[in-house]
Amino acid sequence: MNDLRLGAIVSAVQKNCHISDAQFAADLTLCTFLLKMRELYRWENEIPLTRDMPKSEVGDWMNERERYWEAVEAAPYEPLPLAAGSIDPFEVALANRELAPHGLVYSGGFGRACKPHFFLGSLLREEVRDGFKVYVSGCEFARDLDAPPGMMLDDTIFVRTESLQRWLWEKYEEWNWNHRNEAMTRAVGCYDFQHAPESALQAMTATETESVILHELGEARVGADLGEDWSQMLAALMRTRAEIFARAVRDLYADCLSTLPGLLVRDNPASIHFYFANFTGMRRKLFPELAVAYQVWLEKGDPAELQWVSDAGCLKWQASARRMIELFQQHGEAAGPLIERILEPA
Predicted confidence (pLDDT) per residue in 86-118, tens digit: 999 999 999 999 999 999 999 998 887 778 999
Evaluate if pTM is beyond 0.75. yes
At residue 218, the pLDDT reads: 96
| pLDDT tens sequence across 26-84 | 988 999 999 999 999 999 999 999 888 888 889 999 999 999 999 999 999 999 999 88
Question: Sign of the C-alpha dihedral, residues 120, 124, 129, 133?
Answer: positive
Residues ≥6 apart with Cβ < 8 Å to 199? 192
At residue 346, the pLDDT reads: 59
At residue 105, the pLDDT reads: 98
270: left (phi over 0), alpha (psi -120 to 50) or beta: alpha
Query: Taking Cα atoms as reference points, which of 123, 130, 115, 76 lies closest to residue 96?
Result: 123
Parts of the chain with a pLDDT under 70: 1-2, 346
At residue 4, the pLDDT reads: 77
Helices and strands in the chain: count of H runs, count of E runs? 14, 7
The radius of gyration computed from the CA coordinates of the chain, to the nearest angstrom, equals 21
Q: CA-based angle 158:163:84, to the nearest 5?
A: 50
